[in-house]
Each structure stands twice: as C-alpha cells, then as structure tokens.
Amino acid sequence: MARRWDYDLYVIGGGSAGVRLARTSGALGAKVALAEDARLGGTCVNVGCVPKKLFVYASRIAHEIADAANYGWSIPTPSFDWRVLRTNEEKEVARLNGIYRRLLVESHVDVHDARAVIEGPNTLRVDGRVVTAERIAICTGSVPRRPDIPGAELGMISDDVFVLEELPRSIIVVGAGYIACEFASIFASLGVETRLVARGERLLPHFDREIGLTLQRELAKQDVHVTCERHVMALEKRGDRIAVRFDRGDEKCPEELLADRVLFAIGRHPNCGHVGIESVAIKCKPDGAITVDDEYRTNVPSIHALGDVIGRVQLTPVALAEGTALAHTLFGSRGKIVVDYEAIPTAVFTTPEIATVGLTEAQARRHHEILVFRTEFRPLKHTVSGRDERTLMKLIVDRQTDRVLGVHVLGEGASEMVQTVAVAMKAGATKAHFDATIGIHPTAAEELVTLRTPVKEP
C-alpha cells in the first residue's frame, strides 16, 4: 500500500533531543528523517557541554601544576598554548559529529544537511523540496541572549569562545549562572585576568545560597574579581580593547572598566526563528518557548516540540530523556512514557566544581520542617599541596519523614558524587539509609554518609 506521507516522523534539529528522538524512533521501526542545518550533535557537542568540559580539563591542569610542588614535583616553566587546545578540541568534536551521523544512519534515519521549515501541519520545505510527514518534531534548541544595550555586538556569546583565535589577556564575564561561572573559572585558571559581573546579589541564584556564596569566595581566592549588584549599561570600542560602562562604580569596581574581551552569559532563548511555527500558528509562552502538553504535543496535534526549545530544563540529559520518552510514546509498545522532572541532578563545572540534586535549603523550608547537615573542610589533598580550597557539603532532610530532600556539594569530584547520590534519592533514601552506608576511606564522599549532627537552628 502506498504511504500517505513521505515519513512517519520528521525531526527538525540534530542536537541532543532530535538525534535521540530520531534514532530511537528509527530503531523502533518508524520511517524517520532528520534535518540539521549546522553540525550534528547540536549545542552540547559543538558549542556546549563537550568542548566546554575539555576546556575545564585544560584549566584544571594549571591547578595540578601549582599543587605539584609540595608533592615533590618540579615542573620547570610550564606554558600553555590555546591553539593546541583548540585544535585538539575541534578534532574531538569532528569525531563526535561523525559518530552522531553513523548512529542515525544505523537507525535507518535519512539525514538532511539542510534547514527545514514548517509549511503546514504535515508539510515542510527542506532544501527547496516539499517533504510530508505524519508527525513533525521541533528540536531546534536555544540560542544565547545578548542584552539590549548600546555596543552589545562588541561582546562575545558562549558560541564565540569556541572559535576564539587567541586567549585574551583580560575578560569581563557578564552573568551569574552556569556559563558565566564555568567560563570565568576556565579563563582565570588559564591565566586570563577575569572579572565576573552579576546583576543580582550573588552567583548562581538558582542554587543553594551557601553554595553560591562559597563559590564566590573560592573564585576570589583564584583572583577572579566578582562584582554583584551591577548592571552593564554600554560597551564601546577603545582601540584594541572594550570599555564597559556600569550603572555605578565604587572602590572595588569603577563605573567604567577596560578589557580585551567581554562575554555575555545571561541565559538562552528558545530557538524558534526560521522554523516556520507562525505558518501553523504554534503557541508559545511569553518567553518564546513552545507550549507543549505532557506528550510534547503543541497546539497543532501533528507537531511536537522538545528539548531546550520548550524551555523546561535546558540540560542535555533532560533533552535526551524527552527524546527517548517521545519515541517510545509514538512508536513503542508500552504506551505513554513520561519524563520525571523531579530531583534532576546538575553540576557547574567550575574549579572547585558544584553538584546538586533536589531542593535547596530555602526551597525545602517553604514546604517542610527540615534538618540541615553540613560540613566544610580542607580536602586531604590540599593539606599537603597548600592550596587554600575548602569543600562544602549539605544534606537537607525532612524532619518528619527522614527523607533526604536535597544534596549540595562544592568541591573536587562533586559531579561524580552527586550523580550516584541522585540514584539513592530517586529510590527515596532517608537519612537513616545514608547513616547505615559505610564510607569509602579516604575520600571526600565519605563525609556524605558520616554527617551525624544537624546544624543548630539560629
């Protein structure tokens, strides 16, 4: 029998959400095509998680070198070459682009290296051709925001860091979230004079307050100048440098500062431009994110949207989970699969790094009577290295049920620790379970199972 549509599913966007949706659907027997107008792998692979983490590794080697002397190592005049790092990072990204293509092809997905634009509920234009599909999935991700101020075009966005020809001597990073903190930490560790400017009262406003404040203190020890409650008003070219004007100045941060580069890290917009959503009147929220139901269906029943473009949680593992869930819901045999958005673990890859799962202390206080278990210490490694770095751990526990509601760690290995703790939390772990678990010695992680005395209420 002739098919009514060219495809069962047409996926727009080859990032984390799109590739996972397409290849899982293909593997389940659907006839699938995917369009990507840039590089396969999307933000995460090309200008996000992966190249960023490689930069993080590079930056941490600087710390290892500094810590080596007291361990007996003498490393004569180390030097760093940004171009070598960039070249090797690009090679790895190209390798991953190839792997993504192979995974799609092996799942029988037709890959179209082109922009796809929706023209109707079941119709798209791809490379000048009209293609039809029973269902369309918009997985077009998000793009970095720039502030609406004079001279904003002089500043970089995170995408630009991955094509930076030379490491600047100085940088002003604007923002207080994941990207601002991660890049400030990377640049400072690589020897760039770094200033982080936040408009709010602290870094990482969506994280546990104490974690944000402690990060600020740790970054300051590494000579990152952190200035809070300051708004950037304008950027202006001054010879080879950029002048940044703030809303006010004081002795710690004057009203105007010069730097080689400015990086805006002030959040990301859902990427709905050039997708044709207006042609079928797809509804969006005021922030531009596409509105979907719990099956990622838009107001047009044949069109779905998932990943960053729906603006729920802009993290790769969430985009992947959404892709898997939708593929199984549409083409699997188990009925509707839903993503559990509760207690999503997340990390900020600063040095020292942060990882967290569950409620912050402030969030928990709103709905629970809680006990807070807390420890702050100098890690064993640094008792000899001499580095003045502290680790902070917090456990937020429901006083009545003993359930662990939140775990917050700032310190080396935080992300690796919290990923595993998140499993225990999903299983409904109580503080008694943590107490009954034997630690691994000597580690920092063992502190999580040896915290016995709650913090006294003020």
Ligand X SMILES: NC(=O)c1ccc[n+]([C@@H]2O[C@H](COP(=O)([O-])OP(=O)(O)OC[C@H]3O[C@@H](n4cnc5c(N)ncnc54)[C@H](O)[C@@H]3O)[C@@H](O)[C@H]2O)c1
The residues carrying an active-site annotation are 441
Distance CA 343, CA 358 (A): 4
Helical packing angle, 16-27 and 316-331, nearest 10°: 30
Tell me: does residue 444 bind ligand X (CB under 6 A).
no
Tell me: does residue 180 bind ligand X (CB under 6 A).
yes
The token pair at 353 is 């790094």
Burial code (b: 16+ CB inside 10 Å, e: under 16) for 389-417 equals bbbbbbbbbbeeeebbbbbbbbbbbbbeb
- Between 122 and 385, CB nearer to ligand FAD: 122
42 contacts which partner out of ligand FAD, ligand X, none, CB within 5 to 8 A by kind? ligand FAD
Q: Which of 14, 141, 155, 177 binds ligand X (CB under 6 A)?
A: 177
Q: Which of 316, 350, 356, 391 binds ligand FAD (CB under 6 A)?
A: 316
**CB-count exposure of residue 130 (10 Å: 0-12, 13-18, 19+):** exposed
The answer on whether 180 is annotated among ligand-binding residues is: yes
* Nearest alpha carbon to residue 305 among 277, 286, 328, 343: 277
Tell me: does residue 267 bind ligand X (CB under 6 A).
yes
Is residue 79 within 8 A of residue 211, CB to CB? The reply is no
Distance CA 300, CA 90 (A): 39
Comparing every residue's Cβ against ligand FAD, the nearest one is 15
Please compute Rg for the chain using Cα positions: 24
Using the contact rule CB under 6 A, the part of the chain among 56-64, 106-114, 169-177, 328-336 near ligand X is: 169-177
115 contacts which partner out of ligand FAD, ligand X, none, CB within 5 to 8 A by kind? ligand FAD
Tell me: does residue 345 bind ligand FAD (CB under 6 A).
no
Using the contact rule CB under 6 A, the part of the chain among 68-76, 163-171, 205-213, 310-318 near ligand FAD is: 310-318
Name the phi and psi angles at 46, rounded to 5.
-100, -40
Name the minimum Å distance from CB 175 to ligand X. Answer: 4
Tell me: does residue 311 bind ligand FAD (CB under 6 A).
no
The token pair at 378 is 């100098």
Neighbours of 443 (CB within 10 A): 13
Distance CA 124, CA 225 (A): 49
**CB-count exposure of residue 248 (10 Å: 0-12, 13-18, 19+):** exposed
Tell me: does residue 140 bind ligand FAD (CB under 6 A).
yes
Distance CA 378, CA 389 (A): 6
The interface mask with ligand X, positions 7-36, x = CB under 6 A, is ------------------------------
Q: Which helix (H) or strand (E) holds 100?
A: helix 82-106
Tell me: does residue 407 bind ligand FAD (CB under 6 A).
no
Name the minimum Å distance from CB 24 to ligand FAD. Answer: 13
- Between 227 and 291, CB nearer to ligand X: 227
Please work out the total of residues on this chain that contact ligand FAD, with binding judged by CB under 6 A.
36
Tell me: does residue 14 bind ligand FAD (CB under 6 A).
yes
Name the minimum Å distance from CB 214 to ligand FAD. Answer: 20
Tell me: does residue 178 bind ligand X (CB under 6 A).
yes
Tell me: does residue 206 bind ligand FAD (CB under 6 A).
no
Neighbours of 446 (CB within 10 A): 13
Tell me: does residue 48 bind ligand FAD (CB under 6 A).
yes
For the segment 185-214, give every residue that binds ligand X (CB under 6 A). 199-200, 205
Is residue 277 within 8 A of residue 290, CB to CB? The reply is yes
Name the minimum Å distance from CB 313 to ligand X. Answer: 7
DSSP state of 147: -
Burial code (b: 16+ CB inside 10 Å, e: under 16) for 164-176 equals eeebbebbbbbbb
The interface mask with ligand FAD, positions 271-300, x = CB under 6 A, is x--xx-------------------------
274 contacts which partner out of ligand X, ligand FAD, none, CB within 5 to 8 A by kind? ligand FAD
Q: Which of 60, 101, 115, 245 binds ligand FAD (CB under 6 A)?
A: 115
Amino acid at 174: V
Is residue 113 within 8 A of residue 37, CB to CB? The reply is yes
The interface mask with ligand FAD, positions 62-101, x = CB under 6 A, is ----------------------------------------
Strands 129-138, 7-12: pairing kind: parallel
Query: Is omega for the bond preceding 352 within 30 degrees of 0, making it cis?
Result: yes
- Which residues would be at the binding site for ligand FAD (CB under 6 A)? 12-18, 35-38, 42-44, 48-49, 52, 115-116, 139-142, 158, 179, 271, 274-275, 307-309, 314-317, 319
